[in-house]
Each structure stands twice: as C-alpha cells, then as structure tokens.
Amino acid sequence: MIKPLKICKDIYRVGSSELTHPYDCCVYLIDADELILIDAGAGRSFEQIVANIKGLGFKTERLKTIIVTHAHIDHIGALHEFQESLNVRIIAHELDADAIESGIGVGAEYYGVNYSGCRVDVRITVSETLLKIGNYELGLVHIPGHTPGSIAVYIDVDGERVLFGQDIHGPYNRAWGADPVKAKISLQRLIDLKADILCEGHFGVFKPAFTVEEYIRQYLDSV
C-alpha cells in the first residue's frame, strides 16, 4: 500500500488517486509550524487524509489553513468537512470563490459526489501576493487558464523552490470553461518561477529544475 510521501523538508503528499481515493487530486501538506493543506481531495477520503496527517506524527489541531488551487470537485470535495471538523480557514482566488461556496460548476455530478458548499475566508484578488504563515512565506500566483481563478503556490525551503502547480496538464478545453490563451501566459509564468521541485495536481512530483521546466513546457507547447 502506498504511504504518505515526504517530498523534502516540511513538505508531504498526504492524498492522491493511489493514496486515498481514485477521485482525489494530489493533496499536499506543508509544516510551517502550523499546518497548511494544498487542496482537499474529492470528498470521499476526508478521514483517510486526516489519518495520513496523524500517521506522519502531526496533530490535526495544528491544521489551520487550506489553500485551494481551483474550484474543481477533485480538489475541493472535502473542504466542508475540514472547515466543520477542524475550523480551518479556506483561501482561494475570488474568481473561483463563488463556485466553491455555491457548488455551481464544480463538476460534482461527473464524480457522483454530493458537494457541500463552504465559506471562503480569504479571497485572493491580485495577480501575485506573499502570505506569511508560521515559519514560511508562501507566494500565491494567479494562473488563469484551467479555470478563471486557478492559483499556484510556491515556497522556498532550504535553498530550493517548491512549486504547487497542480493541474498544469489541464485540460484546457473551452467547453469546460478553460481559456487556452490565458493558459499559455500562465504556463510561461510558472516556468519563470524557476522551481526546483514541482508538486503537480495528479501526476506527482518532478525534480530537479530542468525536469520541472520540461514538464511544464510540454503543455505550454501543446495548448
């Protein structure tokens, strides 16, 4: 059985389609003194994600924040349970926040998931911002294309830049609300961040830096 993965100092993968539930995106955990989740899975594996966090030796009371990369059900399904059970704050871009709160357009029907909307506590309204949480400063970057309010997160750990790019692979289909023109700009922006480690939304972890660039560029060239 696949176990939670330590990616580097203070960063772990605690959920994925193989680790928790086939519908889940990759769910990443940052230990910044307080705990931060990047995304929350599709909603059928809340208890397993919590168990994985505990299995790494962390107390769930330390989990204070979930940063949502975009409003698709495989990334937001468990937000309501985390908010209700652990009183976490939820951070998302304003352009995807309404969907997170209402459930409209998140794709729950395609997964057979009953999605419960939840409050977005912090709405990102700028192109890029720095957020100080515990021991780290996180960069939040608006990368429209996959959804209007998609964001990426980056953090510098021991001289290496870790990028939570999530659904770099797309899809970038206009029929599903994507914008290929904006996607090309966003993908180039991710390349320009010069990350050493990429934590992607469904296909795992890529490193070193030249591998990260190659991975992103293949989608940039195909959009």
Per-residue pLDDT at 216? 98
Please, what is the average pLDDT of the chain?
96
Q: How far apart are CA 41 and CA 24, in angstroms?
A: 5
Q: Where are the domains of the chain?
A: 5-222
- Give residue 173's identity as a one-letter amino acid code: N
Per-residue pLDDT at 177? 80
To which CATH superfamily is domain 5-222 assigned?
Ribonuclease Z/Hydroxyacylglutathione hydrolase-like (3.60.15.10)
Residues 113-137: pLDDT tens digits?
Answer: 999 999 999 999 999 999 999 999 9
Question: With contact defined as beta carbons under 8 Å apart, do 90 and 123 qualify?
Answer: no
**For residue 109, is pLDDT > 90?**
yes
Average pLDDT rounded to a whole number, residues 171-199: 94
Average pLDDT rounded to a whole number, residues 59-88: 97
> Could you identify the residue written with the tokens 């090309």?
184
Per-residue pLDDT at 200? 97
Q: How far apart are CA 216 and CA 191, in angstroms?
A: 7
Q: Which residue has the higher pLDDT, 58 or 3?
A: 58
Q: How far apart are CA 46 and CA 78, in angstroms?
A: 6
Average pLDDT rounded to a whole number, residues 88-98: 98
CA angle 97, 192, 181 (to 5 degrees): 55
Per-residue pLDDT at 1? 59
Here the tokens at position 120 are 């977005």
Residues 24-59: pLDDT tens digits?
Answer: 999 999 999 999 999 999 999 999 999 999 999 999
